């Protein structure tokens, strides 16, 4: 008899979503002068709240507030004092972790298991980690002077975690920030604004302006910002690079990826299969460093594919708030369209499609875990970032061929190597042109470990000691 | 070797070299990855109707065990009564799978369990150390079977295994298997002494090729005993062996499983590794003594909505 897991929903009672939100400028929630837009729960299409689409004037006020706070309070403050605020924020994040996890899941569509066990612990860890650096900058080797006002634009795939990656090092180094969350996932950033109030962070040190592309453009192009940190698509990253050319603004870009996950025939097969699944189906594949190209050695390809399909059939797709859900909702209708379109192109170009047998809910945005076999380097699904639960499977014969295929992409964010042979790990990792190379694991993050890309995956590093460099003046 | 050796893999054990080559050729186990997989499955939230179902299944999978030097016929008879009717106040509570005792207690247990359908398991082969001549181990097994045990829990020769004498281990299992007659054979790997997951995977295959009906984690006398990742590695071996040979070998997790919550985690491991065919007392067992009372307590909590005190459940 089958073991049917009864529904185990996490309670929504811990979150209190307001009907509408203003902008967080100079320590207060204020009405913006722009229009308003709705944010929805992608798992149900239910409207959660209304937020402001910040206008150029709103952005101007936010930048002015950040400048004031930088000049008068935060810039001159000793590092040890700044650290106290960051530690306080980290502790409040931990205290409110359950609430923030539920809010993240409702607004983003990711499974509560991931927001609870991955996102939130990492958010707190990032604040703790950079709090520790605040009074030790002289030992990091990048100088001790902050840049000034940082304009930060973050994506919707890890809303609060990307906020932490941006805000924690900026504040530790003495900068003030204006941050724009993604238009589909503004709620945890606004909850973070409340945390800043709760922590008595001086007004203007953190400002949150909600909005879409136009708001982001106004922020990035504002003459009053000294530094731009962007995580998102390569297309927008290129626009930003163009718009700041010839200005003194410093820029770091963390863009797309098309990572190769390389499985050699001497790999620990069961764990490699877990790693492949975690590499591409973690967070519905909405991960810039997702292992979206599986390169498997020909001699074990049949065995690995059979095991992979067996494992994919076990993925539990559905209500993101259910504690047993493995794969949640696609973040938006727009993203779902893109995933569908590229998958259809994959079929049209002759790759063979296999989809995990699973029932999808009627409402909301859903895409079943899918893999393509018979994929070559020439297929668009092997070249373009799909940013969804779609895996392209390619084979190789020799380590040299694996490296060549892995590097044959305009991107270079991450890669994975699976083998029980230590010397092979070192030799292959050395040849891969990717910012992060995972060996016998995938999608593992730690605040002490720098993260960033080669080539069109961007430049600059976030996390670790390296992550300080982007926020300090030489 | 013999007719009981798994078909298709029979020639694997034709020599020490071929057996060694086969076992060393199995894919490695990445310890970090296996630990993470087991931990992730440990976060499954099993509630309400699923929990009721799982608790009843876990009770039906218990090998109610007493393996103490101080065991008496009276205690064994008391356990037999408990095995039949674990919760005297609730006739809907299912019986356990088996009673597990030392060979000396088999005649007592046999009399008490006659006609109940509950299996009678006995540890044999100089349990728990296995440090006795083969002839003694076989005599131990034969005595238990003669007195009525229909399941034999044997220990492997860990010394031979760890020093790489795989064929010696293999031949010993085959010999015990032949001494078992119709009794089912559970082969205890004593994973706490094998130290690595690679060894657990090799020992699992070795035992299955030699004809084990069950592979069992531990004696319960060595720490660590059963752990979720070790059980996961064994379940994966059982799954792969089934795909290779078509034979279904059972798994018994023994030692250290004391709460219903833990037991349910093991059932989740079974469910998401080998699937529902193994969610049956013929394919998965818990070797435990204190676990049963917690299962009963949680069962009555689900039925009544409140916890009864520990005094409402019989002590063994």
Q: What is the pLDDT of residue B314?
A: 85
Q: Where in chain A is the domain with CATH 3.40.605.10?
A: 12-255+454-473
User: What letter does residue A314 receive in the DSSP assignment?
Assistant: T
- CATH 3.20.20.70 holds for B10-305: yes
What's the CA dihedral at A375, A376, A380, A381 to 10 degrees? 30
CB of B120 closer than 8 Å to CB of B151 = yes
* Total beta-carbon pairs less than 8 A apart between chain A and chain B: 70
Q: Is B30 on the interface with A (CB under 8 A)?
A: yes
Compare CB distances from B33 to A6, A271, A324 and report the shortest one's residue: A271
Compare CB distances from B236 to A270, A440, A441 and report the shortest one's residue: A270
Question: Rounded to whole angstroms, how far apart are CA atoms B59 and B294?
Answer: 10
Average pLDDT estimate for A38-59 = 98
Q: Is B32 on the interface with A (CB under 8 A)?
A: yes
Alpha-carbon distance A266 to nearest alpha carbon in chain B (angstroms): 7
Question: Rounded to whole angstroms, how far apart are CA atoms B60 and A12?
Answer: 37
CB of A304 closer than 8 Å to CB of A273 = yes
Of A54, A17, A86, A332, nearest to A180 (Cα)? Answer: A54
Q: Where in chain A is the domain with CATH 3.40.309.10?
A: 260-439
Q: CA nearest A325 in B: which residue?
A: B44
- CATH 3.40.605.10 holds for A12-255+454-473: yes
Q: List % helix, strand, coil for chain A (3-state, nearest 5).
A: 40, 20, 40
**CB-CB neighbors (< 8 A) of B267 in chain A:** 3
User: What letter does residue A70 receive in the DSSP assignment?
Assistant: I
Question: Rounded to whole angstroms, how far apart are CA atoms B294 and B300?
Answer: 10
Of B121, B128, B207, B120, nearest to B161 (Cα)? Answer: B207
Compare CB distances from B33 to A4, A7, A440 and report the shortest one's residue: A440
> For residue range A84-117, what is the model confidence (pLDDT) as tens digits?
999 999 999 999 999 999 999 999 999 999 999 9
ipTM over 0.90: yes
> For residue range B34-85, what is the model confidence (pLDDT) as tens digits?
999 999 999 999 999 999 999 999 999 999 999 999 999 999 999 999 999 9
Q: Is B267 on the interface with A (CB under 8 A)?
A: yes
Domain ranges of chain B: 10-305
CA A313 to chain centre: 26
Dihedral of CA A303/A307/A310/A313: which sign?
Answer: negative
> For residue range A197-212, what is the model confidence (pLDDT) as tens digits?
999 999 999 999 999 9
Q: What is the pLDDT of residue B309?
A: 85
Compare CB distances from B47 to A3, A6, A268 and report the shortest one's residue: A6
- Mutation site for A-interface testing, chosen from B24, B39, B45, B197 by largest number of A Cβ within 10 Å: B45
Q: Is A268 on the interface with B (CB under 8 A)?
A: yes
Alpha-carbon distance B46 to nearest alpha carbon in chain A (angstroms): 6
Dihedral of CA A27/A29/A31/A35: which sign?
Answer: positive
Question: Rounded to whole angstroms, how far apart are CA atoms B202 and B208?
Answer: 10
Assigned CATH topology for domain A260-439: Aldehyde Dehydrogenase; Chain A, domain 2 (3.40.309)
**CB-CB neighbors (< 8 A) of A267 in chain B:** 27-28
Q: CA nearest A113 in B: which residue?
A: B43
Per-residue pLDDT band at A1 (split at 50, 70, 90): low
Neighbours of B139 (CB within 10 A): 16
Q: Is A11 on the interface with B (CB under 8 A)?
A: no
Q: CA nearest B269 in A: which residue?
A: A3
Interface contact flag, B43 A117, Cβ < 8 Å:
yes
A53 as an active site residue: the answer is no
Compare CB distances from B44 to A5, A274, A440 and report the shortest one's residue: A5
> For residue range A216-249, what is the model confidence (pLDDT) as tens digits?
999 999 999 999 999 999 999 999 999 999 999 9
């Amino acid at each position: 008899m089958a073991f049917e897991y009864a529904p185990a929903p996490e309670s929504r009672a811990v979150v209190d979503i307001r009907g509408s939100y203003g902008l967080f400028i100079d320590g207060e929630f204020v009405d913006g002068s722009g229009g308003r837009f709705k944010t929805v729960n992608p798992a149900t299409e239910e409207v959660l709240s209304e937020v402001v689409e910040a206008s150029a004037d709103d952005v101007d006020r936010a930048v002015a507030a950040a400048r004031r706070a930088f000049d008068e309070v935060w810039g001159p403050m000793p590092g040890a004092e700044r650290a106290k605020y960051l530690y306080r924020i980290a502790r409040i994040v931990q205290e409110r972790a359950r609430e923030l996890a539920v809010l993240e899941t409702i607004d983003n569509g990711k499974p509560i298991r991931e927001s609870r066990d991955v996102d939130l612990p990492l958010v707190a860890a990032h604040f703790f980690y950079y709090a520790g650096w605040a009074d030790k900058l002289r030992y990091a080797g990048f100088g001790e002077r902050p840049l000034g006002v940082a304009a930060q634009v973050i994506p919707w795939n890890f809303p609060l975690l990307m906020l932490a990656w941006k805000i924690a090092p900026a504040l530790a180094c003495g900068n003030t920030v204006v941050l724009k969350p993604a238009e589909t996932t503004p709620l945890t950033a606004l909850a973070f604004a409340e945390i800043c109030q709760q922590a008595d962070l001086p007004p203007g040190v953190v400002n949150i302006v909600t909005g879409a592309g136009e708001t982001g453009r106004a922020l990035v192009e504002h003459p009053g910002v000294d530094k731009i940190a962007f995580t998102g698509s390569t297309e927008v990253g290129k626009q930003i690079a163009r718009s700041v050319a010839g200005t003194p603004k410093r820029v770091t870009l963390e863009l797309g990826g098309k990572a190769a996950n390389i499985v050699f025939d001497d790999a620990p097969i069961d764990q490699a299969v877990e790693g492949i699944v975690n590499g591409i189906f973690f967070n519905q594949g909405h991960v810039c460093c997702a292992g979206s190209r599986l390169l498997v050695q020909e001699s074990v390809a049949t065995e690995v594919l059979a095991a992979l399909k067996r494992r994919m059939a076990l993925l539990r797709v559905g209500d993101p708030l259910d504690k047993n859900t493995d794969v949640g909702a696609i973040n938006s209708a727009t993203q779902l369209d893109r995933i569908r379109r590229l998958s259809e192109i994959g079929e049209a170009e002759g790759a063979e499609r296999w989809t995990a047998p699973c029932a999808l809910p009627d409402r909301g945005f859903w895409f079943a875990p899918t893999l393509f076999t018979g994929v070559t380097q020439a297929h668009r699904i092997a070249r373009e970032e799909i940013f969804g639960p779609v895996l392209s499977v390619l084979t190789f014969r020799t380590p040299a061929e694996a490296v060549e295929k892995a590097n044959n992409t305009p991107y270079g964010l991450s890669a994975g190597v699976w083998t029980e042979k230590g010397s092979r790990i070192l030799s292959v990792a050395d040849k891969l042109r990717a910012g992060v190379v995972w060996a016998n694991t995938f999608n593992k993050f730690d605040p002490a470990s720098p993260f960033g890309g080669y080539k069109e995956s961007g430049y600059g590093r976030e996390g670790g000691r390296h992550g300080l460099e982007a926020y300090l003046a030489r | 070797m013999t007719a009981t050796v798994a078909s298709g893999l029979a020639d694997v054990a034709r020599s020490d070299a071929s057996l060694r080559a086969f076992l060393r050729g199995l894919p490695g186990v990445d310890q970090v990855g296996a630990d993470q997989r087991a931990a992730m499955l440990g976060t499954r939230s099993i509630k309400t109707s699923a929990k009721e179902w799982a608790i009843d299944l876990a009770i039906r999978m218990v090998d109610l065990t007493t393996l103490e030097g101080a065991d008496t016929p009276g205690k064994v008879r008391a356990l037999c009564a408990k095995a039949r009717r674990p919760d005297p106040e609730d006739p809907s509570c299912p019986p356990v799978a088996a009673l597990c005792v030392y060979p000396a207690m088999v005649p007592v247990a046999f009399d008490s369990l006659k006609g109940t359908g509950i299996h009678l398991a006995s540890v044999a082969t100089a349990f728990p150390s296995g440090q006795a001549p083969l002839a003694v181990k076989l005599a131990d097994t034969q005595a238990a079977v003669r007195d009525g045990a229909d399941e034999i829990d044997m220990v492997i020769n860990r010394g031979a295994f760890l020093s790489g004498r795989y064929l010696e281990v293999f031949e010993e299992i085959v010999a015990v298997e032949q001494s078992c007659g119709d009794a089912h054979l559970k082969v205890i790997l004593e994973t706490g002494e094998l130290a690595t997951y690679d060894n657990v995977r090799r020992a699992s295959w070795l035992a299955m090729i030699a004809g084990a009906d069950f592979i069992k984690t531990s004696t319960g006398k060595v720490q660590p005993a059963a752990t979720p990742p070790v059980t996961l590695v064994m379940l994966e071996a059982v799954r792969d062996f089934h795909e290779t040979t078509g034979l279904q070998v059972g798994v018994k997790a023994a030692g250290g499983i004391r709460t219903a919550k833990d037991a349910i985690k093991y059932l989740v491991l079974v469910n998401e590794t080998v699937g529902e065919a193994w969610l049956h007392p013929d394919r998965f067992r818990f070797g435990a003594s204190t676990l049963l009372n917690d299962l009963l307590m949680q069962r009555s909590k689900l039925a009544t909505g409140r916890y009864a005190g520990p005094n409402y459940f019989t002590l063994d």
